[in-house]
Structures are given as C-alpha cells and as structure tokens.
Structure 1
Amino acid sequence: MKAGYENLNINQKQNDLHIKVLPTTKFKTTTITLKFMAPLDSKTMTARSILSKLLVRATQQWPTDKAFNRHLSELYGAYVNSFVSKFKDKHVITITLELVNERYLSDQTPLFEKGLNLLKEIVWNPLISNQSFDNNFVAQEKALLTKKLEAMVDNKSQISFLNLLKLMFNEQPYRHLASGQVEYIADITPETLYDTYQSMLLNDYCAVYVVGNVEEQKVKSQIKSYFDIKPFQFKLSHATPVPQRDKVPQEIVETDEVDQAKLNMGFKLPVQFGDRQYFASVVFNTMFGGDPSSVLFNEVREKQSLAYSIHSQIDAKNGFMFVLSGVSTDKYEVAKDTIIAEFEKFQRGQFNEEKLELAKKVIVSQRQESYDRPKRMIEILNNNILLENDLSESDYIKHIQNVTKAEIIDLTKHIELNTIYVLTKGGND
C-alpha cells in the first residue's frame, strides 16, 4: 500500500516511515511503542480489542504464558503491554515494550536488539496455527472482556456517560468504548481473529516511537531492518458528526436504582487540533471544570454543595466537551441551571484575568510533568500525525500562554450545548 509523495495536504500526510525517536538521558529505561491505526468501526473494535491482548500473551517462539513471562524476566524484567484507544477517527492498538537501557548494564547484553526481536515476534509470529489463534487463549480473553464490559453496567457513572454518548452520536462508532461491545463477543472465533490480525498487518497505518538514551539514526535503521513498516498516507476523514436536531439541546431523563443522580452534558466545540481555538479550548476547559481551581468545582460543588463530584473534560481533537457530575437526586434541576449559568458567564466575559493566568500555569505544569513519563511523551508525539508540521513543545506552551480573554469569550459564544442526560431515582422524573 505504498503511496506517492505528490498532492499532499493536511488530510493526507505522507511521513515516509513514521518512526519517531526521542533521545533523552532522563530515564534508565528504553520505551518502544507501536501504534496500529484503523478506521473507527463499530463492527471491528471488539475483535481488535481481543487481538491486542492475544498478541502480548504468547508467540510461536514462546507459546505459553510461562514461557513468554520467563523470556521477559531474562530481559532484565522487561515489561510488555497493550491497550486499545480512540484517536480522532481511528481505532488504535498500542503495543509497548519497556526495558532497561543497556548502557546501564554491567555486561554487554545487546538488550535493545533483543527487545526488537521480541516485538518482531509479537507482531509477526503470534501463536497461530492453520490460520487460527489458540482456542484457550481466545476463550480466556473473550471471558475477560465480557466481564470487564458487563461490570460497567453496575458502574452508574460509566453507564450514564455511555448513555450520553449514545444519545449524542446515535449510530456513530464514536459512541462506543474502544474496547468494544458485549454483543459482538460471542461471534468472535479463533478463525475470525486471524482475519482481524491480517487486516491489521495489511491495512493499518503503523507508527513507531522510541524514548530513551539512544542514538536516533542507529535506532531508526534498526527498526527499519526489523519491521516491514510500509510508508503510506494517514488519511483523516471529517470530524465525527453530531446528528442535526430540531431541538438543541435535547434533554433526556432516565431512572434507575441510584443513590445520586448522574447529570451529564455534551457540548460541541468549533475547534480543530492545532488551530488557535484549540489552545483556547484547552485553557477554557481548565477554567470551567477541568481542574480543582475551576468554576464548576468551586461554585457548583464547594460553594453551593449541589454536586458530590463534577468535572469537565474535552476531546478537542474531535471538537467535544463533556460535563460529568453526581448530584443529589432532588437537586439535579438546580445543578443543571447553575452549570449553564456559569457557562453563560464566560460568554459574557464575566471572569477575571487571574483565573485565566492560573489555568495557563496549571496546563503548562501538567504538560511539563508529562515529560517525566515516557508513555505520556509518546502520546504527545503521536498527536503530531494530525498536523502538517510537527508542533514543538516550546510552541505548544507559547500558544497556551498567548490565549487571551477575548479568545475565550469568542470561543464560548460558538460552543453549543447539544445533549443533557440525567440518570436519577425512579419516581423523580
């Protein structure tokens, strides 16, 4: 699936082999991460979730849990894990290996190369025979995922957030957890998982990241020799659409056996990752509900005692903000009106510069703390896939620090409250 280099734009970014190396002397370990990205699709997410766990359990060379774990311990206690996530309009399988940097070993073990060998085995030689994954492992991972997803039904906070997404996005795959849906698990077999695996190898966009005390060019050439990573275009579709409705915001109240009402709100943000309004949205979210210093935390929870818990979070890559709260079942109407009133104060510019500057300091501090963790550094690096030109760390901080009060006011005037979802006690509808 090789692509040409002509006619490139922000939605078709050609980046040759996407191998990014971040040399640093901060850590005694080296972290190697592979990210396999496919279009977000309700039908494939569950199988990809199970596949991600199978790949890091056993391989042809180490065909049992015991053999696989013994090999990790032989690599000075190396650690391998995998997870799935949503990234813009993609479903991502992330496989990460952390191992001691060989510079800090007393002997001359070529640990980095052994780590690459292990990753190569995980990706290209999983435990497959006759185009089928191991029956026992598949059964175990299906049972584990079923248990995990079913447990969410009992978690009223999680289920109410998923209900908000369902109402806001209808049939869009964005509404689902990256780990999938219970109803798809039964139909997954060792044979269908082989097809899922082949699709990952043939069709996914693969990005590789390395963080540690390493030589950049040497590592890049090693990875190229170990992995058959093809250069091809990372295509972005348009942002996840929110269905048009006659009445916005739509408000839905449902009842269940709950100790406290769950009051959740979904907003549409007019932002695109990396543009000026994107940075304004990051600052606004921190001021509004994204930090203990925020308005929602102080006004709704502390001063008025309307909420046991409340915060806002943004998915600015897709242009959404969510306010999630737990409130007294007899106070959710007051809490809802208060949240909306606090939001409208921002639209009128009723906030001071001190709050704005404090939010910027919080963001910059959290960003700098991210560089104490290799995995967070890799997630930050991966965001650059969405941009025509990579965003440097100093530029990110500069953009945050340059956000003005006028930009926050302008942004909030264009934010739309789309959906209000309440889960409360029966009889309180």
Structure 2
Amino acid sequence: MNNKSTSNLHINVLPTSKFKTTTITLKFMAPLNQDTVTERAILSKLLMRATKKWPSDKALNRRLSELYGAYVNSFVSKFKDKHVITISLELVNEKYLKDTTPLFEQGIKLLTEIIWNPLITNQQFDEGFLAQEKSLLTKKLAAIEDNKSQLAFLNLLKNMFGDQPYSQLASGQVENIAHISSASLYDTYQSMITNDFCAIYVVGNVDERQVKNYIQQYFQIQPSHFDTFATVEPVATEHKPNVIIEYDEIDQAKLNMGFEFPVTYGSEAYFALVVFNMMFGGDPSSVLFNEVRERQSLAYSIHSQLDTKNGYLFVLSGVSADKYQVAQETIIKEFEKFKFGEFSDEKLELAKKVIISQRHEGEDRPKSIIERMNNNLLLTTDMTDQSYVDAIMQVTREQIIELVNAATLNTIYILTKGGEA
C-alpha cells in the first residue's frame, strides 16, 4: 500500500467553531515490539505525573486549574503494526473567555514541559512515581486476567498470531513490569522523543497558521521520514480453522472466532467489510444477535468487531458450556449464508444507516475526529466524512458476497469448564 511519507512535521489542524474547547494531541509511533510495549505504557502515565517546572502531582494539577481546568491525559494503543503513545490536552478556547490570557500558547507550553522536560534527575525518573505506576499497571493487567471475556479474546489473538507483538495488549505484559527501572525508562523515553514518528493534531476554533507556528516554535519534534506500515499476518496453520479448546473455572463458555479478509484500509472492500460487520454481528439488529442470542438462545452475549486496518473480524460470545458446539455451528452457518447472498436489501440498507449515524455522532467528539484524522496516515488521499458516507452508501450486495467468499475462518478459540482445570 502507498503510504504518506514526509520529511516534514506531520501537523494536522482542523479549525472548527463546533467546540468551545481546543484539543491538542500528539501521537508518538514506534514499531510494535514485545520488549518495549510495557515500558512505553508505564512511560505514558509517568509523563502525566510531574515535570521539572511542576515537580509534584499537586503542582501540575494546580497549573491545570490555572488554565481554566485544562485536562491532560495519555494512553497507549496499537495501530496497524505500530505502538502508539497518545498525549492529549483539552483546554477552554480563549475566544469564549472575557480574560485575555493567551490560553492556547499556555497549553502548548504546558505540553512542552510535560513531554520535553519531565521530572528526570541524573538520567532517571522519580522512583516514587515509578513505583506507583508499576503498581497501577500490575493491578490493571491482573484485572484483565480475572476477566474471562478479555482473557479469552487475548488467548484467541495468541493462538492466531503466535508470539507476534500484535497478540499482546498495548499495555504490555505483567511479567515485564518488575524489570523496569528508572534508568531503563530513561532510555525508552529518549528513544520515544528521538526515534518515534510524531503526528500532531489540533481541533478547535483556531487559526491554522498560528497554531503551526506555535508548534514549530515550542515543540522539539524531529522531522522524520516515516517508514511504511505492514499488515500483521496470522501464523501459518495446517488446518483452517485452527480449533483450540481450553479449560478454566468458568460459569459460561467463551466462544471466539477470528476471520481474515483480504482488505486494505480505505479500499472498496474495506467499506464492504464495515457494512458486512454491522449486518453480521456489529449491532443489536445483526444476524448473530437475532439468530444466535434471541431466537435460539445459544448465547448470553455475542457480537463481532473489526480491526479494519489489518483486515480481521472477531466474533466474541459467551455461551452455555453445554451449547458451545451448536453455537459454533450456528455462527458458521450464518456466516456461510452471506456467501450465497442470503440477506435482505432491507438489512443492507439498515446497516448503512446505522454506520452513517454512528459516523455523524463521532463528529461531535474531538477525540473521534482526531482518531479519524490519524487513520489518514494509511492513505495517499485523506478520507473525509463525506467521502466515507458516500462510499458506505455505494456498497452493493455483490461486493458483500464477493468479500465473504474471499474470507477465511482462521481460528476458533473456546474457553470452557471441565477438563484438567
């Protein structure tokens, strides 16, 4: 796929009078790597704790209060084959205040402090903050282990993608937390600010040229030539689908499936996949919800979800332990029906309406707008809201049929009670 590569800064500004706030977001991208994701997850939270100028939680929070209750946050995620640290600041737009404080510039200065002047002494992060963040991440990852639905989904990914970093949580692995030190975290931080590709997004009632001038004046972003994105491939298996049954102390069985689709982001097939997912299991009006859950009462919960950037559809369900076999057969049978065009035009049109409605809802949230802007990194021509809506409306029955016939059921993962557990 052709990707945008640039030797300039990637700064994308959307001037809009829709919001009373301005959102400034930086996305630091590095290759997904099992050895670094846990440290990067800790780093993303540690940067939010204190800076050289505001060396305590209290001091930093006081500064946020002075900026009319500005809000700063961070999170980690997976994007195609990359690991992303997102750092975001939301602050009131000064145009809506009687005060003449240059809030936007103050916000830029605050982010400069948080990212480029964190609380580091002798090339080490603060031990107290690090211990707290390690404890918090340990608890977060332990909670996921206790959540059988999340655990079963992770196990599906591990069986489908093997030891590739894609199969791991963006937050990392609990066994790697103990090895993280103040000194090793400093190296991870240096790598982030030196080697990561950084995309910057600003949404609000702002002047684009002025925003770019401030960013170039204050942010120490290295102009970088971005490497291309690669599709994450499943591990090769002799038998398709690869069926794995594991046992645990569990009330209801977890039945999960992973399908592969030959889809590239933004292509005609991509839009067909979005529509198909909505018809198949993406909404309470979907086939899986109505047939497997409501009509046959085989599942307590069931839905399908997409990773459209890599071309995967996952079916996730909770079923009675004695019914997972019939539930599995029913899901596959419902999928097969699409291959033969056994779906109504009404269902097709309803799916499109729901997708377009959700798209319009997303236009009311700066965070959603920024995620969509960031998805354009995968395209040679930016996808606008209108071009997205038009492409969804143009999806045909024939495209859905062709798409489903080109799909492969790669992995079936079942977690149930009994066995050796």
Partner of residue 106 from structure 2, selected from 114, 120, 134: 114
CA–CA separation in structure 2 for the residues paired with 1:231 and 1:301? 52
Partner of residue 232 from structure 2, selected from 240, 251, 257: 240
Q: Is the 8 A contact 1:205 1:234 kept in 2?
A: yes
Please say if 1:362 is aligned against 2:362.
Answer: no
Please say if 1:307 is aligned against 2:326.
Answer: no
Per-residue deviation at 1:238?
2.5
Match of 1:5 in 2: none
Partner of residue 287 from structure 1, selected from 279, 299, 303: 279
Please say if 1:271 is aligned against 2:248.
Answer: no
Please say if 1:371 is aligned against 2:363.
Answer: yes
Per-residue deviation at 1:97?
0.3
Comparing 219-228 and 59-68, the one that deviates more: 219-228
Partner of residue 320 from structure 1, selected from 305, 312, 318: 312
- SS of the residue corresponding to residue 335 of structure 1 reads helix
Q: C-alpha offsets along residues 102-151 of structure 1, whole Å, 9 cap, x if unaligned?
A: 00111101110100000000111000000000000001100100011011
- SS of the residue corresponding to residue 413 of structure 2 reads strand
Match of 1:32 in 2: 24
CA–CA separation in structure 2 for the residues paired with 1:156 and 1:414? 32
Match of 2:178 in 1: 186
Please say if 1:392 is aligned against 2:384.
Answer: yes
Query: Structure 1 residues 391 and 12 mapped into 2: Cα distance closer, same or farther (>3 Å)?
Result: closer
Match of 1:410 in 2: 402
Match of 1:421 in 2: 413
Partner of residue 297 from structure 1, selected from 282, 289, 302: 289
Q: Is the 8 A contact 2:303 2:315 kept in 1?
A: yes
Match of 1:3 in 2: none
Match of 2:39 in 1: 47
Per-residue deviation at 1:234?
2.1
Q: Is the 8 A contact 1:329 1:428 kept in 2?
A: no
Instruction: Give the count of matched residue pairs.
Output: 421
Query: Structure 1 residues 118 and 391 mapped into 2: Cα distance closer, same or farther (>3 Å)?
Result: same
- SS of the residue corresponding to residue 13 of structure 1 reads coil
Q: Is the 8 A contact 2:48 2:73 kept in 1?
A: yes
Identity among equivalent positions (%) equals: 66
Partner of residue 75 from structure 1, selected from 67, 85, 92: 67
* Aligned partner letter, 1:90: K
Q: C-alpha offsets along residues 213-259 of structure 1, whole Å, 9 cap, x if unaligned?
A: 11111111111111122332222242111111111101011111111
Q: Is the 8 A contact 2:278 2:351 kept in 1?
A: yes
Match of 1:101 in 2: 93
- SS of the residue corresponding to residue 125 of structure 2 reads coil
Match of 1:123 in 2: 115
CA–CA separation in structure 2 for the residues paired with 1:233 and 1:395? 28
Per-residue deviation at 1:90?
0.5
* Aligned partner letter, 1:366: Q
CA–CA separation in structure 2 for the residues paired with 1:379 and 1:147? 28
- SS of the residue corresponding to residue 176 of structure 2 reads helix
CA–CA separation in structure 1 for the residues paired with 2:4 and 2:28? 17
Match of 1:153 in 2: 145
Per-residue deviation at 1:376?
0.5
CA–CA separation in structure 2 for the residues paired with 1:107 and 1:155? 48
Q: C-alpha offsets along residues 177-209 of structure 1, whole Å, 9 cap, x if unaligned?
A: 000001110100000000000000110000000
- SS of the residue corresponding to residue 229 of structure 1 reads coil
Q: Is the 8 A contact 1:12 1:233 kept in 2?
A: no
Q: How do 1:82-93 residues align onto structure 2 when only pairs under 5 Å count? A: 82-93=74-85
* Aligned partner letter, 1:166: K
Per-residue deviation at 1:91?
0.2
CA–CA separation in structure 2 for the residues paired with 1:428 and 1:415? 34
* Aligned partner letter, 1:226: Y
Per-residue deviation at 1:382?
0.3
- SS of the residue corresponding to residue 180 of structure 2 reads coil
Per-residue deviation at 1:326?
0.2
* Structure 2: runs of 5 or more not aligned: none
CA–CA separation in structure 1 for the residues paired with 2:129 and 2:268? 48
CA–CA separation in structure 1 for the residues paired with 2:8 and 2:386? 25
- SS of the residue corresponding to residue 120 of structure 2 reads coil
- SS of the residue corresponding to residue 322 of structure 2 reads coil
Match of 1:141 in 2: 133
Q: Is the 8 A contact 2:262 2:406 kept in 1?
A: yes
* Aligned partner letter, 1:356: L
- SS of the residue corresponding to residue 42 of structure 1 reads coil
- SS of the residue corresponding to residue 318 of structure 1 reads coil
TM-score, with length taken from structure 1: 0.97
CA–CA separation in structure 1 for the residues paired with 2:209 and 2:4? 26
Match of 2:210 in 1: 218
CA–CA separation in structure 2 for the residues paired with 1:93 and 1:15? 21
Q: Is the 8 A contact 1:308 1:327 kept in 2?
A: yes
Q: Is the 8 A contact 1:268 1:321 kept in 2?
A: yes
Q: Is the 8 A contact 2:194 2:222 kept in 1?
A: no
Q: Is the 8 A contact 2:3 2:377 kept in 1?
A: no
Q: Is the 8 A contact 1:91 1:178 kept in 2?
A: yes
* Structure 1: runs of 5 or more not aligned: 1-8
Q: What is the alpha-carbon root mean square deviation over aligned residues?
A: 1.2
Match of 1:205 in 2: 197
* Aligned partner letter, 1:375: K
Q: C-alpha offsets along residues 61-105 of structure 1, whole Å, 9 cap, x if unaligned?
A: 000011111111111000000000000111000000000000011
CA–CA separation in structure 2 for the residues paired with 1:229 and 1:196? 16
Match of 1:341 in 2: 333
